[in-house]
Amino acid sequence: MIKFKCPCGADTYFDSVNCMSCGRTIGLNPNTWAFEFIKERSHPDIEKSQGRAAICNNGFEYGVCNWIQEPDSQNGLCLACSFNRYIPRLDTQENISRWRVLELAKRRLLFNSLRLNIRWSSGWVLPNGGLLFDFLEDSRTSTEIDPSEFVSTGYSDGVITINLLEADPAQRAAQKTANNEVYRTVLGHMRHESGHYIWDLLHSENSRRESFKHTFGDLEQNYHEALTDFYSNGQSPEWAENYITPYASAHPVEDWAEMWGHFLHIIDGLETAKEHHLIGTDSNQMSMREKLAAWQDLTIKLNEMNRSMGRNDLYPFVICEPVVQKFEYIDELISGL
């Protein structure tokens, strides 16, 4: 992530809503990648009508967003919030807090994409090929919902669904333990599921299907059988020789989504490291192998720092040679878009 400044000149952060130096309310313009002053307590409609930066209505009304409205927005939303289809019930402060966690991760995903010159359209603008988000509850977070209605976090047909319970640290930790995972975050979900979406956009070209098959394996493998097999029998014992995570070994499509998620982790991580002078070279100037070498060097140090604080490793993954080649494939694909 790049570093930001308040218009007053002080350092500020991606999720800032106030400047810690001048105290003014600020909002991020995702089109200029810069923060702007927002007039506090003035309704966004008034600000917009006066030609001034207006905060997204989800920020003004619920405090869940710090981006400014798109200039042509009909409903007073920012770029990121315009991708929403279903949001949670907002009758409890707890749900608003959980929603805030999901929105922050979604904004980071979309901002990372903009930095990679990938600008997605929402499903409202582009009914065929656009992206939408559903943030849904089931009976695990709401007693009013029928226990038979189970909401899975996942992707289907242009829609990323995140179960609201992923925004709850205790629930997320329980899921992580149940699945025997070393890493589970809302941002990780967003990045993984966006991999399914981007593959939907890319796979129609035959040439890509061939190169994909060469790198990831046969897409025609029955997805539901493969996943059922993974969940009933577990990963293959040799998963670590070919895959970034056990789950990636379930099916080539899941391998792609896991790899895409990690690609975004690494690109964002290296950008943050460069901006804060932890590495000297801009990762845009590096080959994928150089990026991975820089990442490995950096994460060994950061893992040790985490251990010094009694925390789990920041990046608890090992990148083996077949995985390096998959990263190279993704890097090449993205640079050709």
In the chain, the amino acid numbered 112 is: N
The distance of closest approach from Cβ of residue 250 to Zn ion in the complex, given in angstroms and rounded to an integer, is 9
Closer residue to Zn ion in complex, CB, 242/306: 242
Give CA–CA dist 267/292, Å, rounded. 10
Burial degree of 253 (CB within 10 A; 0-12, 13-18, 19+): buried
Q: Which of 28, 53, 55, 56 binds Zn ion (CB under 5 A)?
A: 56
Residue 249 makes contact with Zn ion by CB under 5 A: no
Residue 33, phi then psi, degrees to nearest 5: 60, 30
Half-sphere exposure at residue 253, Cβ-oriented, CA atoms within 13 angstroms: 20
Give CA–CA dist 16/173, Å, rounded. 26
Query: How many residues touch Zn ion (CB under 5 A)?
Result: 14
> What distances in angstroms separate CA 56 from CA 30, 64, 69, 177, one per listed residue?
12, 9, 5, 37
Closer residue to Zn ion in complex, CB, 56/105: 56
Q: Which of residues 1-20 bind Zn ion (CB under 5 A)?
A: 6, 8, 10, 19
Closer residue to Zn ion in complex, CB, 18/242: 18
Q: Which two tokens stand for residue 262?
A: 């990690």
The distance of closest approach from Cβ of residue 25 to Zn ion in the complex, given in angstroms and rounded to an integer, is 10
Q: Which of 102, 248, 257, 292 binds Zn ion (CB under 5 A)?
A: 257
Closer residue to Zn ion in complex, CB, 216/279: 216
Give CA–CA dist 268/116, Å, rounded. 10
Closer residue to Zn ion in complex, CB, 65/131: 65
Q: How many CB atoms lie within 10 A of CB 44?
A: 24
* Binding map of Zn ion across residues 62-81, x = CB under 5 A, - = no contact: ---x-x----------x--x
The distance of closest approach from Cβ of residue 104 to Zn ion in the complex, given in angstroms and rounded to an integer, is 11
Half-sphere exposure at residue 24, Cβ-oriented, CA atoms within 13 angstroms: 15
The distance of closest approach from Cβ of residue 114 to Zn ion in the complex, given in angstroms and rounded to an integer, is 14
Q: Which of residues 198-227 bind Zn ion (CB under 5 A)?
A: none
How far from each other are the two terminal CA atoms of the chain, in whole angstroms? 21
3-state percent breakdown (helix, strand, coil) of the chain, nearest 5: 45, 10, 40
* Binding map of Zn ion across residues 22-51, x = CB under 5 A, - = no contact: x-----------------------------
Closer residue to Zn ion in complex, CB, 252/269: 252
The distance of closest approach from Cβ of residue 100 to Zn ion in the complex, given in angstroms and rounded to an integer, is 11
Binding site for Zn ion (CB under 5 A): 6, 8, 10, 19, 21-22, 56, 58, 65, 67, 78, 81, 254, 257
